[in-house]
Amino acid sequence: MPRQGRINIEGGIYHIIQRGLEKREIFLDDEDRREFLRRLKNGLEETGHKCYAWVLMPNHFHLLIRSGVKPSCDLMRKLSTGYALYFNKKHDRCGYLYQGRYKSVLCQEESYFLQLIRYIHLNPLRAKIVKDLREFEIFLWSGHSVLLGINHLKWQSTGEVLGRFGKSQLEAVKKYREFVLEAKDIGRRDELSGGGLIRSAGGWEEVKSLRESKSRLKADERILGDGQFVDNALQHSERKMKRHEKFKKEGWNIKKLEAHVCKLTNIKEGVIIGKKKKSNIKAKGLLAYWGVNELGIKGAELGRYLGISKQAISYLIKKGEKTANEDGLYLSI
């Protein structure tokens, strides 16, 4: 059975898990852990993603992120590959570091957001990496101590989490701590680590087939949520994939997109490229936004074409999305 494609939904909540090859350790010392977090911080800034929960275990890690305009794979590609290269060089080894590709599960926010934060952060206690609750709360290698205000990491998004527990910082931290400790004796929950009971290998068409045969679809292995959430996510993914395919068949590429954007914004072709001409920021934004979202062009490729950095591409994508929404502009085919 061919492996399933990623489900990329802008603003989606993703539980990401990456394990070491043959359960081997991927963090050997604190220097490794600090290097991983440094790369995570940079990746979040470049992609516009948010990280709500995280934990570094000896042989795997968990992240709970909200994707930005760029898909979560943009973050993970650089983070995983970059860290693996660092690890192999530092520890004089070669070969694969990870056990296959990382697991990425799109999660229904209303039902699972807080459960996942608690589940992820309780990992060190469940695995007895920390010996008691005091060590658990000061453990440096998870986002739990950050939410408690013991550790301070500006790149971790804490406001949206604590805001669900109380209006004041003191009240929110108190209730968050109580919420986490309520589950301290609960063991592993497989359903929170990836997917449901029936796997859908054929996308939305397979979902419809199962319904027609009166089979009960519980979930997709890439999605954690109720039936309606699964259906909506699969339909969205299917529509986006078909749209990318249609653009490709009709010969759309960066050059054709540039010509289209220049016509819409009344500027000459070729002027859009380069670091100067701040007045063309609107056109560059549309080029970046439609390039990534409609044509599926990688941000790095767009950056090279425009002669700008990856960070600048992230800014332009947001700018282009705002322009398209405010001006009612669509890339029609």
pTM to 2 decimals? 0.69
pLDDT of res. 72: 87
Give Cα 261 distance to the centre of its chain.
28
pLDDT digits (tens, 9 = 90+) for 29-39: 999 999 999 99
What is the amino acid identity at position 196?
G
Q: Which domains are assigned to the chain?
A: 13-191 (3.30.70.1290), 195-249 (no CATH), 254-327 (no CATH)
* Average confidence (pLDDT) over 237-244: 65
- Provide the mean pLDDT of the chain: 82
Range from 177-186, 189-198, 314-323 that averages highest in pLDDT: 177-186
What is the amino acid identity at position 102?
Y
Residues 6+ apart with CB under 8 A from 257: 287, 290, 291, 295, 331
* Of residues 146 and 329, more confidently modeled: 146
pLDDT digits (tens, 9 = 90+) for 92-124: 999 999 998 899 998 888 889 999 999 999 999
Rounded to whole angstroms, the Cα distance separating 3 from 201 reads 8
Across 43-57, 134-148, 153-167, 302-316, least confident range:
302-316
